[in-house]
Chain A
Amino acid sequence: MASQISIAAGRSQRREGSKFVDALPEKGTLELRSEDGEYTHFTWKNRVTGQVEDELLVFPGEATFEKVDQDPSGRTHILKFSSSDQKYFFWIQKSDQQVIIRAQVDIDNLIRDPTYRIGSAPLPVPSTPQRPAQERSWPPTPGAPRLSHPEPAPRNAASASTPSAPPVAGSSNDGVMDVEQIPAQESAGGSGQDQMARLLAEWARGGGIAPADDDARLTDVLSPIQMSTLLTTHPSLIPTITPLLPSGLDLPPNPSAQDLLPILSAPQFTDAIASLDNALRSGGLPGNMMRELGLPDNAGQSVKGFLEGLIGLKKDDQPEGGDERMDED
């Protein structure tokens, strides 16, 4: 008897020459049909045009269908052939994590074994969400997903529709990047899908499968020009900076911005800023270090978090944006 799976899914595309994966917005359906228990017919159909745009024959043991762990939403999956380097990315257009996990398990089992009976394999045992203390994540494992949410993701979101189901492993996989925890939606389809695609695209822009970070480099943010502007518009800063500088620099008693700038723009300073950038990009700094700066703990976990924390330090409460007025403090 032929087994069949059908699930709403879009395609994702790997960008040429990079590890980025962009979710494409088109609505589609993944359809799998086992043929006489010998192989699996794997197709992706565009739901709008009804056209079958991808068609693959998968022989047992030839490929796997796995969740891409780097995607915080848990939706992106990869069809990977072991016999060649072919890879196909799909993102499941369902919001219920249970449904997504069920689909992944079934698809993976079916392509490994065309005689597989849909729904017969157990779902993976959800692992206890592992949340090392902030401080213990230092030194971090390079490339390990960083936790941007200190408290566990709410369980009810995923398990609400099936109260008897155990908590879902997928829901613990939050926040590799800055993408918000995806709110659970009642059903697939609707405007939620578009938003999902946008979020995924954003995630991919932020680095996708390659753990990447903000485009901005700290050395460009705190460039010599920027420091010069900062010190000349806020001369009151100078007495707070001066005592932090190493002794033996031969500074006059009440140094001016002109005295400090050659020091602050020396290559050693740029190197120090670059090393901070590097430390943030390669896994982060302890939260208590950030707290001392008045930044949230997660500012220590990526350049992006750090920069956003800085922007949040702005003293008056005016929204950041086109407003270029400087505040007087």
Chain B
Amino acid sequence: MEDPSGWSLTESDPQVFTQLLKDLGVKGLQVDDLYSLDESTLSTLKPIHALIFLFKYVESSAGGAEESSGIEVDPLDNGVWFANQVINNSCGTVAALNAVMNIPSQSSQYSEESIQLGEELGNLREFGTGMESLDLGHLVSSSPHIREVHNSFSKSSPFSMDSSAFPEREKEDAYHFIAYLPINGILYELDGLRKNPIMHAPIEGEDWLNTARETVESRIGTYPPGSLMFNLLAIRSTPLPRLTRLLNDPSTPSEQKFQIQDQLEHESNKDKRGQMENTLRRNNLLPVVFQLFKALGESGQAGKAVEVARAKGEERREKRAAKGEGDD
């Protein structure tokens, strides 16, 4: 909220993206962390409709490795919805929109399992038909609702979060978010800071993820080891309705039900945890923090706690000094 652009930073947390999509009216999709591109990892998350690759350079010298394999193509000629990122900090939302705007709607006989863009984004897409990417970028960033949803996740710490005050904290604005997904049988890379979408390769065989895996892995491989921090998110079909249906379906073989039960429990715990964290993100937590500090003081435990924290801080400072860095 404190950024002059009026857009706060997006946390690279899948639950934030899930809620973001939900609040924008998208149905049937959720976002999860992807810890590996192995077939076994991917299979538990399928169907997957898009990947969001977020990364930052650890060393600026790695910037030279920025060589993309694909070719830039005109989005309008190729039927790709592509918005440029025109506002600071909005890259997470822009990447999510670039992805979901290109995920085809799917209607299912089970209504909860349908994938729909929803009214708001549907209108936005219609309104933006034929627009250049730069104009789409401005269209997105001037939508009060999108901005409001985007910003709603950073209420828990109402003080200005000047990331420069956290030297060893990850500066999330240094992250960059890029979407990878298949559109009309071709793998695209949608990077809001590029002028155009990047066309990578035609999808061969059944699974677009095989093509995407090669592309993403070779991209990661272009950076020297240790110079890149990255995270992968998968935009996938929401599993809860499907798993619940399968569990209750008498035709599901009972030996499969145990596995489904496990998955369901895992997904629903994750969902609860995510909702709890999103609730915390969307509320001012300082009254609780103050109350806890006050109670700590009154309990007489503050002295000891401060002592322990000072020892920790001193250790940290000495370590920094040993590395020859300034203290300020």
Residue ranges of A at the interface with B (Cβ–Cβ < 8 Å): 17-20, 207, 210-212, 214-218, 220-223, 226-227, 229-230, 233-234, 237, 240-241, 244-246, 248-250, 262-264, 266-269, 271-276, 278-279, 281-282, 293-294, 306-307, 309-316, 318, 320-321, 324-327, 329
Contact = CB atoms under 8 A, between A and B. Distances in A.
A19 B296 contact: no
Contacts of B157: 271-272, 274-276
B122 interface: no
Contacts of B310: 214-216
Question: Interface residues of B: mostly helix, strand, loop or mixed?
Answer: helix
Given A220-B309, A221-B296, A221-B309, A212 B328 contact: yes
B302 A266 contact: no
Nearest to A289: B290
A320 B300 CA distance: 8
Nearest to B161: A275
Interface residues of B, number: 55
Given A17-B321, A271-B156, A274-B166, A222 B292 contact: yes
Contacts of A210: 326-328
A222 B296 contact: yes
B313 A329 contact: no
Given A226-B296, A266-B276, A215 B165 contact: no
A278 B161 contact: yes
Most chain B C-beta atoms within 10 Å of own C-beta, residue among A216, A221, A294, A307? A221
A114 to B, nearest CB: 36
Contact of A241 (B272, B288, B324, B326): B288
B35 interface: no
Interface of B: 156-162, 165-166, 169, 272, 275-277, 279-283, 285-306, 308-310, 312-314, 316-317, 321, 324-328
Given A249-B279, A311-B306, A313-B298, A272 B286 contact: yes
Contact of B312 (A220, A222, A306): A220
14 contacts: A18-B328, A207-B327, A215-B312, A215-B317, A220-B308, A226-B296, A226-B301, A269-B288, A278-B161, A278-B162, A309-B297, A314-B298, A324-B304, A329-B299
B288 A245 contact: yes
Given A18-B321, A216-B310, A310-B302, A268 B297 contact: no
A221 B165 contact: no
Nearest to B286: A272
Contacts of A321: 303
Contact of B302 (A245, A249, A311): A311
Nearest to A234: B299
Contacts of B293: 218, 221-222, 293, 306, 310
